[in-house]
Chain A
Amino acid sequence: MEAELKNYKRRLKYRKAINLIVNSLTFIAALIAILPLLLIFYYTVSKGISRLNLEFFIEMPKPVGESGGGMANAIVGTLILVGIGGVIGLPVGIMSGIYLAEFGNNKFGQLLRFLTDVLSGVPSIVIGVVAYTIVVIPMEQFSALAGGVALAILMIPTITRTTEEMIKLVPHSYREAGLGLGIPKWKTSLFIVLRTAWKGIATGVLLGLSRAAGETAPLLFTALGNRFWSTNVFEPIASLTVYIYDYARAPFEDWNAQAWTAALVLIILISLLSLTFKIITRSKYKTN
Chain B
Amino acid sequence: MSRIPVTNIIYESSKVTEEEALISTKSLSAYFGEKQALFEVNLNIPEKQVTAIIGPSGCGKSTFLRCLNRMHEVIGGTYTGSILFDRTDLRDINPVELRRRIGMVFQKPNPFPTMSIMNNVVAGLKLNGMRDKKLLKEIAEENLKKVGLWDEVKDNLNRSGASISGGQQQRLCIARTIALNPEVILMDEPTSALDPIATAKIEDLIYELKKEYTIIIVTHNMQQAARISDYTAFFYMGRLIEFDNTKKIFTNPSKKQTEEYISGRFG
Contact = CB atoms under 8 A, between A and B. Distances in A.
Interface of A: 171, 173-184, 187-188, 191-192, 195-196, 198, 283-288
A176 B74 contact: yes
A187 B100 CA distance: 15
A180 B114 contact: no
Contact of B112 (A187, A192, A198, A287): A192
B71 A287 contact: no
B162 interface: yes
A176 B96 contact: no
Given A184-B96, A285-B158, A287-B162, A195 B124 contact: no
Contacts, number: 88
Contact of A183 (B74, B106, B124, B177): B124
A191 B127 CA distance: 8
Nearest to A173: B110
Contact of A174 (B69, B100, B112, B158): B112
Given A195-B114, A285-B159, A286-B163, A182 B128 contact: yes
The size class of the interface chain B forms with chain A is 20 to 34
Contacts of A184: 96
Nearest to B123: A181
A180 B123 CA distance: 11
Given A181-B103, A181-B180, A176 B110 contact: yes
A179 to B, nearest CB: 6
Given A176-B110, A180-B71, A180-B104, A285 B163 contact: yes
A173 B127 contact: no
Contact of A283 (B98, B123, B160, B173): B160
Given A177-B106, A188-B127, 9 more contacts: A177-B110, A180-B71, A181-B99, A182-B98, A183-B124, A191-B127, A192-B123, A285-B159, A285-B160
A145 B160 CA distance: 43
A138 B27 CA distance: 67
6 contacts: A174-B110, A176-B74, A179-B74, A180-B69, A187-B127, A192-B123
Nearest to B101: A182
Given A283-B160, A285-B116, A287-B162, A173 B108 contact: yes
A174 to B, nearest CB: 6
B71 A176 contact: yes
A177 B160 contact: no
Contacts of A177: 106, 110-112, 173, 176
Interface in B73-125: 74, 96-101, 103-104, 106, 108, 110-116, 123-124
B176 A181 contact: yes
A177 B98 CA distance: 14
B128 A183 contact: yes
A188 B110 CA distance: 14
A198 B112 CA distance: 13
Contacts of B116: 284-285
A12 to B, nearest CB: 37
A198 B114 CA distance: 10
A286 B71 contact: no
Contact of B100 (A176, A182, A286): A182
Leading 4 A-B pairs by shortest Cβ distance:
A182-B100, A181-B124, A285-B160, A180-B104
B99 A179 contact: yes
A171 B114 contact: no
A180 B103 contact: yes
A255 to B, nearest CB: 50
A284 B159 CA distance: 8
A67 to B, nearest CB: 53
Contacts of B127: 178, 181, 183, 187-188, 191-192
B70 to A, nearest CB: 9
Nearest to A195: B114
Contacts of A196: 112-114
A247 B135 CA distance: 64
A19 B29 CA distance: 58
Contact of A286 (B110, B123, B128, B159): B159
Max chain A Cβ within 10 angstroms of own Cβ: one of B103, B114, B127, B162: B114
Contacts of A178: 112, 123, 127
Contacts of B104: 176, 180
A287 B113 contact: yes
A100 B107 CA distance: 28
Contacts of B162: 287
A82 B168 CA distance: 46
A182 B110 contact: no
A283 B97 CA distance: 32
